Amino acid sequence: MSDTTAYHGATATPHEPGFGDYVQLLKPRVMSLVVFTALVGLLVAPVALHPVEAFAAILFVALGAGASGALNMWWDADIDAVMQRTARRPVPAGKVQAGEALAVGLALSGISVVMLGLATNLMAAALLAFTIFFYAVVYSMWLKRTTPQNIVIGGAAGAFPPMIGWVCATGSVSVEACLMFGLIFMWTPPHFWALALFMKEDYHKAGVPMLTVTHGRQATRLHILVYTLLLVPVALGAALTSIGGPLTLAVAVALNVWFVIGAWRIWTRDETVAEADRYAAEKAFFRFSLLYLFLHFAAFLVEAALKSAGIGGW
Amino acid sequence: MTFRPEHDLHKRRFSRNLGLGLTLAAFVALVFALTVVKVQRGEPMQGFDHTYSPAMLPKEEKTP
């Protein structure tokens, strides 16, 4: 229909969403991390899936993560609108209505869990369902607005994908899957607290009880150091299991030394020094934290490839 | 009748319809591919059809 006059009536909403707006509801950047870690979990497992099953498994894990992102955007629309970092998300920007985000989130949750169960096994589907519940209900609805430990406990939701990938292939949870979970779980607090240090107005304005708001910035710096130190044995432990090897251990040692040095630098600074160089150390730590996680999981993947060629692993 | 330029609303609706259409097509293709993989890997099956089929009887072990 080429005549547009009919569309200016009551049927058209002022901000009718395009397909891209719905894609943005699924937090594609978070999804890319989920796809990568779940893929590594699946590929390093001792049981090989058929490529079609593996593709379907990763797709539905990613879809489940997207669904929980949409549910999070529905619930958090009010605080997303206040924070500079999240104000352009589809719901606070007025591109998608909150009810639509809820419908998309619920529909995709159901589809992803059922399809993952059919494509792989019930345990993987149950874990995915629990992950969506944990992120949408436990983290978004409960912890995020009530406790400064929100990031610590809520980080579990982001830590499940490699475990789900492993369970898709093997049908059970093992120490390797738990250590991959632990790696992301322990990495999440320092990563987000570094962000909170230099995005300082956002969480304060939104009234989100981040550690920086409730316990102060110096306490946050100490927490970053403590959690980074606690992360070290988990990362090295993972490298010593069947998914690791000499290469993984070398990468883990190098990454953790660098990460601890970064956390130490943050702890020894105060706000005056940080403001003087516009939070250079905190921003560098945050950027490196992304590389840290990527390289750790990339090392697992390379080690698995080397092992299949007969030259990697323990 | 004169043709008016396409409104931005049309573009957004078209992108939504196209995106949904392609997503559904991809979903159908994926379910089909999964079905083929699952069926090919399954054990051969034969149902009872009310006729005597000696081939379905368990093989007896021969004693020497």
Let me know if residue B49 belongs to a domain.
Answer: no
Quick one: A60 and A147 in the same domain?
yes
pLDDT for residue A233 = 97
Candidates A258, A250, A256, A239; CA nearest to A300 is A239
Distance CA B37, CA A82 (A): 49
Which chain A residues are within 8 Å of B7, Cβ to Cβ? 4, 7
Q: Tell me how many degrees the CA angle A201-A205-A207 measures, rounded to the nearest 5.
A: 120
Distance from A21 to chain B by nearest Cα, in Å? 9
Q: Which sign, positive or negative, has the C-alpha torsion A261, A263, A264, A268?
A: positive
* Domains: count for chain A: 2
Closest partner CB to B10 (pick from A4, A50, A118): A4
Distance from B46 to chain A by nearest Cα, in Å? 23
pLDDT for residue B61 = 67
pLDDT for residue A5 = 42
Quick one: A180 and A299 in the same domain?
yes
| Mutation site, B1, B16, B39, interface A, largest A CB count within 10 A | B16
- The residue range of the domain holding B20 is 10-39
B30 contacts A53? CB cut-off 8 A = no
Where does the pLDDT of residue B62 fall: very low under 50, low under 70, confident under 90, or very high at 90 and above? low
Quick one: A180 and A258 in the same domain?
yes
Distance CA B31, CA A168 (A): 17
Q: Which sign, positive or negative, has the C-alpha torsion B50, B56, B57, B58?
A: negative
Is the CB of residue A94 less than 8 Å away from at least one CB of chain B? no
Which chain B residues are within 8 Å of A116, Cβ to Cβ? none
Beta carbons of A131 and A160 less than 8 angstroms apart: yes
Which chain A residues are within 8 Å of B15, Cβ to Cβ? 18-20
Let me know if residue A25 belongs to a domain.
Answer: yes
Task: Please report the ipTM that was assigned to this predicted complex.
Answer: 0.81
Rg (CA), chain B: 28
Low-confidence ranges of chain A (pLDDT < 50): 1-12
Q: Which residue of A has its CA nearest to B20?
A: A19
pLDDT for residue A306 = 94
Closest partner CB to B9 (pick from A7, A20, A23): A7
- The residue range of the domain holding A71 is 16-172
Indicate the average pLDDT of chain B. Answer: 82
Candidates A218, A217, A196; CA nearest to A208 is A196
pLDDT for residue A7 = 40
Backbone angles phi, psi at A149, to 5 degrees: -85, 10
Quick one: A94 and A167 in the same domain?
yes
Quick one: A156 and A179 in the same domain?
no
Beta carbons of A61 and A32 less than 8 angstroms apart: no
Is the CB of residue A119 less than 8 Å away from at least one CB of chain B? yes
Distance from A4 to chain B by nearest Cα, in Å? 6
DSSP A278: T
Tokens of A1: 């229909």
Quick one: A122 and A218 in the same domain?
no
pLDDT for residue B63 = 63
| Mutation site, A19, A60, A100, A116, interface B, largest B CB count within 10 A | A19
Let me know if residue B50 belongs to a domain.
Answer: no
Is the CB of residue B35 less than 8 Å away from at least one CB of chain A? no
Which residue among A172, A187, A218 closes a domain? A172
Quick one: A279 and A313 in the same domain?
yes
Quick one: A101 and A219 in the same domain?
no
Let me know if residue B53 belongs to a domain.
Answer: no
Mind listing the pLDDT tens digit for each residue in B35-61?
999 988 876 666 667 777 777 777 776
B12 pLDDT higher than 90: no
For A310: left if phi > 0, alpha if psi spans -120 to 50, otherwise beta; the answer is: left
| Mutation site, B9, B22, B24, interface A, largest A CB count within 10 A | B9
Quick one: A127 and A224 in the same domain?
no
pLDDT for residue A312 = 81
